[in-house]
Structure 1
Amino acid sequence: MTRTGESARQDQTGSPRGRRRRSRAATGAAAALVALLLAGTAACSSSGHAAGGSASGGSSASSGGAAAATISVTLAKDSAGNVIPDQPVKIAVRGGTLGSVTVADSKGDPVPGTLDATAGTWTPSTPFAVGVAYTLSASATATGQTGKPTTDQVPFTVETPGSSSSMLLDSITPEKGAVVGVAMPVSVVFSNPVADSARAVVEKQLKVTTSVPVTGAWHWFSSTRVDWRPESYWKSGTQVTVDADLDGVSNGNGRIGIHDYEHKFTIGSDIEAVVDAPAHTMKVTENGRLLRTLDVDTGGAGFQTWGGTMAVIDKESEVEMTSCSVGIQCNPNGPNYYDLKLPFDVHLTFSGTYVHYSSGDQDPGDSSSHGCVHLSKPDAAWFYGIVQEGDPVTVNGVPKNADPDNGYADFNLTWSQWTAPQSS
């Protein structure tokens, strides 16, 4: 059962953080950016640059009148002429040998990166940040000369892409400052699809740090959703920080990240509920100690309750439950039609599974629900009061487990399934 018009909790834009001092490239005014760089067909001194796709320059020749080396710099661009943020910068030298390459932001702070002098590339350690001005400095030694090297400085600004070219997040779950149960995954939902070819790069920028050592991994459920879960349940008291360093990162489909996001949350008490569907009971424990054994109803024939472990999505004091909203029956005269406002609702799946009290099923102890787990009103009130987001509710003795992405049923995959290579 589900409430009418229900949707997942969302954080539409996330929380932008301060600009990181990294060198990154973007889209939008790429032509203006490249206009600051010198065309490869025109060699100018380091004091001036001509428009085009690369920048060239060089100091005057050393004593003896020999020609100075000429340096040209090229930023990678896509077919629309926009700078690709995570690609190497190419530095070519004519008439000499490339020496050093450094990049600094507008404050003069160095940007980490790696120079491959043989290939003539400089690669930023993380993508260029949007809306930030940089200066690339390169040096080269002219062939046959032993005097002062040629030096060149190339200024450029990475423009912020417009909304049609921005990569944003719909949500990061859990929310900032949340206290959650031991089965709660980190779930990141993107506003637009991430290309298969970009997932490894994007995933590298999604970092999870914990106050105690935890083994965990990311798993892509779709092109717009990726979850991180520990190998086994969290330890109570663990402090978790999620850093989504997506400023300047490409999604592989023409969109560039314009924000960094940070969420911190805490793992609360180990509250676990285990439903034995054939026995019509639910045992609730806290830190391994049995608190109560409750009588329950589960789904009847044709409406079996989803099985496996489902982390609590959320809870509400009252939800309107309708048979039509979950495709059971829309005819008010049908035998399976219902439209009820019911209390003490603990949400388990996006498809509409709840643990709750039902006024149409006041004496639990059989299998007569339409898929939800029903409790008596006093038991439902007690369970509602103790349970929190992320607490695991495991249903045993039913035909089929919930799909792992139907809510937060991530633990319905084994660890080997979770970490197995995913096909494109």
Structure 2
Amino acid sequence: MIRTADTGHGRAPRRAVAGAAGLVALVLAGTAACSSSTSSSGGGHGSGGGDAAPATISVTLAKDSSGDVIPDQPVRIAVKGGTLASVTVADSKGDPVPGTLNAAGGTWTPSAPLAVGVAYTLSASAAPSGQGGKPTTDRVPFTVETPGSGSSMLLDSITPEKDAVVGVAMPVSVVFSKPVADSARAAVEKQLKVTTSIPVTGAWHWFSSTRADWRPQTYWKSGTKVTVDADLDGVSDGNGRIGVHDYQHSFTIGSDVEAVVDAAAHTMKVTQDGRLLRQLTVDTGAKGYQTWGGTMAVIDKQPQVEMTSCSVGIQCTPGGPNYYDLKLPWDVHLTFSGTYVHYSTGDTDPGDSTSHGCVHLSLADAKWFYGVVKQGDPVTVTGVPKNADPDNGYADFNLSWAQWTAGSTTPTS
């Protein structure tokens, strides 16, 4: 979906209640059924001086196969001996719950999933078919109970972290703890909202059943403040799990630091806000171990990482020609598969193509680059045969905008 991000945070808050994990159960006050035909005081079960019998109302909430309420499905209201006139739902504070009434079809659908652990009251009114009768009003209190453990839809992570300052190529990456069914992705995506202090066009893209990223069409502008609201309380993942939490992350786009590696020329140019800071000499991958190409947003950085040939599937036999097990400094992480920009004690004189896929710098240059770069800064590698897969880390900009929006569940606009 192409979405122009909101530029404020003025949406009405959802009534979210954090709870344990699992499905939801309905509790109706005064009855063990999912319907009621009790009229309100003065609601006209008597003739009221007329000959018409009062209408009767039956309210049914959608349930799954195990008998638990589905928070984002329509409520059905059947009327006998009359016509449905109005339906309202309020929470325990008396605040109205937004929804849409289809009087002809006899349904009321919440605009957003009902929240777990919150008490509601549904009020339905019907007019009698004959003349002289009085309207009937039915009030049905219920609670979408906090579920038990074992079947909740939870998030494994939202990247970047709260209050982070990141680079201009950093996407929002949401990872679910369990798979989201294809049939539920549109409803889940609708509840994943991005607001920005500077207007920006962006979209979600599903890489898999457990990962969805949001990126702008082009790089972020420095200084943009971003808020991610994952309003997942009460949302179904289509596989029998219901969200029990809302999540919010805010972060800021920092200075525009970009690095471009030319593998053929063995150079890396580093700019800040369009101004060249330095041109560095690099080594890149040898034949058969070529460095991944395209644009990769920095995942993270560490002052020291133990690099082993076995961990990336190169060689696990000590003494082999491509075996290594080294603790190396000033490591800037580019891909989940193990690509870094760093210094290597086995490659102390950069200027050719002899690495196993990483970008090697001299010790002094590696320390300098480590100090300049941050998470989300784009590192672009040219002159290599193949780009990194877009989900191999945060190489989201390796997809064209058309390819990106094709991975959304909502038609482009």
Give the TM-score normalised by the residue count of structure 1.
Answer: 0.89
Displacement after TM superposition at 1:54 (Å): 2.4
AA in 1 matched with 2:192: L
1:114-133 to 2 correspondences below 5 Å: 114-133=100-119
Corresponding position of 1:372: 358
Corresponding position of 2:290: 304
CA contact (8 A) 2:341 2:360 kept: yes
Corresponding position of 2:35: 54
CA contact (8 A) 1:27 1:84 kept: no
Q: For 1:29 and 1:310, how far apart are their aligned partners in 2? A: 41
Note the alpha carbon deviations across 1:115-146, whole angstroms, 9 max, x for none: 11011111111000000010001111111134
Q: For 2:279 and 2:132, how far apart are their aligned partners in 1? A: 86
Displacement after TM superposition at 1:82 (Å): 1.0
Is it true that 1:399 corresponds to 2:385 in the alignment? yes
Q: 1:22 to 1:70 in 2, by over 3 A?
A: farther
Q: For 2:221 and 2:149, how far apart are their aligned partners in 1? A: 40
**SS of the counterpart of 2:215?**
strand
Gapped regions of structure 1 (runs ≥ 5) = 1-17, 38-48
Corresponding position of 1:270: 256
Q: For 1:73 and 1:408, how far apart are their aligned partners in 2? A: 48
Q: For 1:211 and 1:361, how far apart are their aligned partners in 2? A: 45
Q: 1:27 to 1:97 in 2, by over 3 A?
A: farther
Corresponding position of 1:148: 134
Corresponding position of 1:358: 344
Displacement after TM superposition at 1:147 (Å): 4.7
Gapped regions of structure 2 (runs ≥ 5) = 1-11
Q: For 2:24 and 2:298, how far apart are their aligned partners in 1? A: 45
1:155-166 to 2 correspondences below 5 Å: 155-166=141-152
Q: For 2:269 and 2:117, how far apart are their aligned partners in 1? A: 55
Q: 1:323 to 1:116 in 2, by over 3 A?
A: same
What is the number of equivalent residue pairs in this alignment? Answer: 390
Is it true that 1:321 corresponds to 2:307 in the alignment? yes
Displacement after TM superposition at 1:20 (Å): 2.6
CA contact (8 A) 1:355 1:374 kept: yes
CA contact (8 A) 2:54 2:134 kept: no
From 37, 47, 67, the equivalent of 1:81 is 67
CA contact (8 A) 1:137 1:154 kept: yes
**SS of the counterpart of 2:188?**
helix
Is it true that 1:412 corresponds to 2:398 in the alignment? yes
1:18-37 to 2 correspondences below 5 Å: 20-21=14-15, 28=23, 30=25, 33=27, 36=28
Note the alpha carbon deviations across 1:7-62, whole angstroms, 9 max, x for none: xxxxxxxxxxx983379xx96462x52xx27xxxxxxxxxxx54223222334222
Q: For 1:146 and 1:305, how far apart are their aligned partners in 2? A: 83
1:206-355 to 2 correspondences below 5 Å: 206-355=192-341
CA contact (8 A) 1:99 1:140 kept: yes
Q: For 2:408 and 2:251, how far apart are their aligned partners in 1? A: 28
Corresponding position of 1:44: none
CA contact (8 A) 1:22 1:126 kept: no
**SS of the counterpart of 2:355?**
coil
Give the TM-score normalised by the residue count of structure 2.
Answer: 0.91
Q: For 1:408 and 1:196, how far apart are their aligned partners in 2? A: 23
Q: 1:210 to 1:285 in 2, by over 3 A?
A: same
Corresponding position of 1:15: none
Q: For 2:75 and 2:53, how far apart are their aligned partners in 1? A: 25
Displacement after TM superposition at 1:89 (Å): 0.4
Root mean square deviation of aligned Cα: 1.8
